[in-house]
Amino acid sequence: MRLAHGENSRDEIKLRWLIVGELFTWIGASFIWPLTSVYLNKQLHISLSMIGVVLFFNCAGNILGSIIAGRLYDKMNPYPLILWGVGLDALVLFLLAAFHGWPEYWIWLTLTGFLGGWNGTLINSIATSLKKYPGRYVFNILYFSQNLGVVTGTLIVGYLYDYSVTLLFVIAALLFVVVFVNAVFNYRPIITFHQERLAKAKSGDKVKAEPMPKRNFILTMTFFTTLAVTWLMYMNWESNLSVYMVSLGIPFHLYSLLWTLNATIIVIMQGILAKFPRIFKNLFHQIIFGICMFSLSFITLVFAKDFFHFALSMTILTLGESTAFPAIPAYVNDLSPLTSKGKYQGSIMVASGIGRAFGPLFGGLVIDQAGYIPFFWVAAIVIALMIIVMVPTYVHLRKNITIYK
């Protein structure tokens, strides 16, 4: 049975403090990932193939951190886990500021990937403990905060990179210090939540993890597969599309402008969804709309030959990203039992990480063998196939799924 939101019998973390943590985390992270390829290639003279290996290790670290953090959230007190995560992230970034040559940069980037997965999973898992607001609202707001951080971080990094890369790393580390201080003082209510969770779930000295019902599990796995496939294709916007646009005579700075457009639209869309949460009848409709937009965006790329048409494709893509990506963790939260919410929020990060890790490689192989236009059709068709799988699965299962709050 669904519980009425707003009933809050215990003290819980204020949503605004989760927003602050998410915002500063993503501003700091956005100081690192946009400059990695340029810095390694232009200043450290690392080959593009080796840079691909470095980025793969970053994604692999992210997946591992997500898995471990999700499992630990369900079994241990989340408060020290999040403090260790953001504290170590700040330390690694200070080390990166002091030692950013080769191969130590590779080591630090792998560690930041691990800690990024760790912290991201814990924040999403902690967000499931908030009962004052609907899950859809909470995850939309957090996604808004992430992308506001990306907008802010990417704008700043463009100006500071030419001045001093060391300064960028120091500022990123200081931002994580702010996140750490915020967590120390404002995340303590999660201790009470953990104690209440243990009191409900204990049997003797062992904590019994309630298994996810079979129908919930099937629907959840469908979402995870869709998320992995979507990221597999989406990552080519961050890698192979830049080469394609430049080959058409479009300046690289206009490609960069597409990402400012992307983040800006996400911020606007999340504001709209937060203000008008009933635009979509339910979370599943929101997910389907978003995945449809992803597929459509690749179809429009087939006909894109100038910047205006690429901007149109990016706009359609971003409508998909801003609706589907925050809705999936919100729905998975509703499908997950209390004792395994961390596990499945971590699995969301894993599914995304798999797609991000293999996306550029998959796209590169298809493009090398057949070209860009066939790849765009492959991406559009494969994403559309996921819609064809999701809709009948949901229709068949929806009356018998169990909703947890």
Tens place of pLDDT per residue across the chain (405 aa) = 233 344 444 578 888 899 999 999 988 888 886 677 667 777 788 776 677 678 788 888 988 998 898 889 888 888 999 999 999 999 999 999 999 889 999 999 999 999 998 998 899 888 888 888 877 788 878 888 887 887 788 777 767 777 788 888 999 999 999 999 999 999 998 888 888 777 766 654 445 567 888 999 999 999 999 999 999 999 888 767 877 887 888 876 677 678 778 888 888 887 888 778 788 888 999 999 999 999 999 999 999 999 999 999 999 999 999 899 989 988 998 898 877 887 888 788 889 888 887 887 788 788 888 888 999 999 999 999 999 999 999 999 988 888 886
- CA dihedral sign, ordered 85, 91, 95, 98: positive
Q: Which pLDDT value is given to residue 24?
A: 93
Roughly what angle, to the nearest 10 degrees, separates helices 214-238 and 240-247?
40
> Rounded CA gap, 116 and 61, in Å?
8
- Cβ-proximal residues to 43 (8 Å cutoff; 6+ apart), any chain: 165
Q: Which pLDDT value is given to residue 132?
A: 82
Give 212-405's CATH code, choosing from 1.20.1250.20, 1.10.260.40, 1.10.760.10, 3.40.605.10. 1.20.1250.20
CA 60 to chain centre: 14
Question: Do 79 and 193 contact (CB within 8 A), yes or no?
Answer: no
Question: Do 46 and 98 contact (CB within 8 A), yes or no?
Answer: no
Question: Do 71 and 343 contact (CB within 8 A), yes or no?
Answer: yes
Residue with token string 């049975």 = 1
Question: Do 242 and 255 contact (CB within 8 A), yes or no?
Answer: yes
Pair of tokens at residue 185: 């003082």
Q: Environment class of residue 307 by beta-carbon count within 10 Å: exposed (0-12), middle (13-18) or buried (19+)? A: middle
DSSP 8-state assignment for residue 2: P
Q: What is the DSSP string of 19-65?
A: HHHHHHHHHHHTTTTTTHHHIIIIIS---HHHHHHHHHHHHHHHHHH
DSSP 8-state assignment for residue 206: E
**Fold classification of 12-208 (topology level):** Growth Hormone; Chain: A; (1.20.1250)
Q: Please report, as a single letter, which amino acid is at residue 87.
A: G
pTM: 0.73
> Rounded CA gap, 354 and 342, in Å?
18
Torsion of CA 243, 244, 247, 253, to 10 degrees: -60
What is the CB-side half-sphere exposure of residue 390 using CA atoms within 13 A?
A: 27
> Rounded CA gap, 287 and 275, in Å?
18
Phi, psi of 202 (to 5 degrees): -70, 145
Which residue spans of the chain are classified as CATH 1.20.1250.20? 12-208, 212-405
